[in-house]
Amino acid sequence: MVTKLSDAFKVNHVLDLNSFTELPETHAWTSKLDSYSASGGSCTSNPETIPIIDLNNKNTIDLIGHACKTWGVFQVINHNISKNLLDEIELKGKGLFSLPMHQKLRAARPPDGLSGYGVARISSFFPKLMWSEGFTIVGSPLENAIQLWPEDYQNFCDTIEEYQKAMKKLAGKLMWLMLGSLGITEDDVEWVGCKGEERGCSALQLNSYPTCPDPDRAMGLAAHTDSTILTILHQSNTRGLQVFKEEGTGWVTVPPHPGALVVHVGDLMHILSNGLYPSVLHRAIVNRTQHRLSVAYLYGPPASVKISPLQKLVDISHPQMYRPITWSEYLGTKAKHFDKALTSVRLCAPRSRVVNSNDHKIVKVG
């Protein structure tokens, strides 16, 4: 960890990125830092493209299974989330991030808190700061919304709550399609129907990436995997999201597709599938001319349920690869070990096909 910047991170020092005409040193990700490099790593114009899956297609389940195995990411269309709701959440996000800094800081995320405004949580693991600001909502948005708009918080809350509800439904459906593609049914999952504590459950993360005076040396959101079962990402029509594909391919851009939502396989699906569906390493880069916004719905199980490889996927030739762990414990492990979190709960060596994409600092991208 880098002491100076991690101190800044702890007190949630957010700089107003719109006020810079040159990239400050604190945000300059040099190529010497190898895998930390912003411009580092080939970003291919790969002939292979990230699958776009129509949820009304009769082969959806197989297409999803194949995408999870080969990419760890896909886009979905015909997902039943209205364009109106997607436009509305984008509008609310833009409204929030365009508030003056002193107003946003009224809702600053406390050092050990879950919800609120601030720099990327993973900042403390990197020697440089990221060119982004974020707003996390776990549970009700009410408390933060009142801090931001004491007179007019209801409008924001209504959109967020409607979005959370719609995403929860879609995420549940996608989880069962993913598990279904592995031959798993509800009977195989002990914690089905277990409500658990709502606190600590799925989070909504609004990310804002202001235009950047030197985008090749800056990093929007550094390479990471999500600590989720799956994540549903709505990206505005500006490019920026990249996923890492092994086998010599490198970083691949996930091009915005009108109306589509991006789905990431997260670390908990990696565990549940006993390594069959590896979580996807991804990052966000920035650009000189267009502000970019993304909204991530980070979906997980009830916080206190023990997650472990599903027994149907474990046998003598496929031993259990991970120990049981709750989502809250895993988030704690991630906060401490970051890219080594998954390895730290591993019981035996990974399947030979799976490159350990989670030791991402060893991934050669520079």
Ligand X SMILES: C=C1C[C@]23C[C@@]1(O)CC[C@H]2[C@@]12CCC[C@@](C)(C(=O)O1)[C@H]2[C@@H]3C(=O)O
Ligand Y SMILES: O=C(O)CCC(=O)C(=O)O
Q: Dmax of the chain from CA atoms?
A: 62
Q: Does 146 bind ligand X (CB under 6 A)?
A: no
236 contacts ligand Y (rule: CB under 6 A): no
H or E element: which one contains 135?
strand 133-138
CA distances for 147 relative to 107, 108, 150, 153, angstroms = 6, 9, 6, 8
By residue count, the chain amounts to 366
- Looking at the Cβ atoms of 235 and 326, the one nearer to Fe ion is 235
Q: Is 288 a catalytic residue?
A: no
By CB under 6 A, is residue 241 in contact with ligand Y?
Answer: yes
Which x/- pattern, by CB under 6 A, does the window 209-228 give for ligand Y? ------------x----x--
Return the number of the residue (133 or 226) whose C-beta is nearest Fe ion: 226
Nearer to ligand Y, 221 or 230 (CB): 221
Span interacting with Fe ion, options 77-85, 159-167, 195-203, 224-232, rule CB under 5 A: 224-232
Among 136, 235, 273, 333, binds ligand Y (CB under 6 A): 235
Q: Give yes or no for residue 267 binding Fe ion (CB under 5 A).
A: no
Identify residue 128 by its one-letter amino acid code.
Answer: K
Stretch that binds ligand X, among 4-12, 56-64, 89-97, 226-234 (CB under 6 A): 226-234
What are the tokens at 105?
Answer: 């800081």
Residue of 109, 292, 351, 353 marked catalytic: 292
Residues 323-342 that bind ligand X (CB under 6 A): 331, 334
- Alpha-carbon dihedral sign for residues 349, 274, 306, 263: positive
Q: Which amino acid is at 47?
A: P
Q: Identify the helix (H) or strand (E) that includes residue 253.
A: strand 250-253
Instruction: List the x/- string, 107-136, binding to ligand X by CB under 6 A.
Output: -------x-----xxx-------------x
Among 227, 273, 333, 356, binds ligand X (CB under 6 A): 227
Helical H segments across 250-348, by residue range: 267-272, 327-337, 341-344
Cα dihedral 157, 207, 230, 228 in deg (nearest 10): -90
Measure CA of the first residue to CA of the last residue in the chain; give whole Å: 20
Give the active site residues: 292
Which positions lie near ligand Y, rule CB under 6 A? 205, 207, 221, 226, 233, 235, 240-241, 282, 284, 294, 296
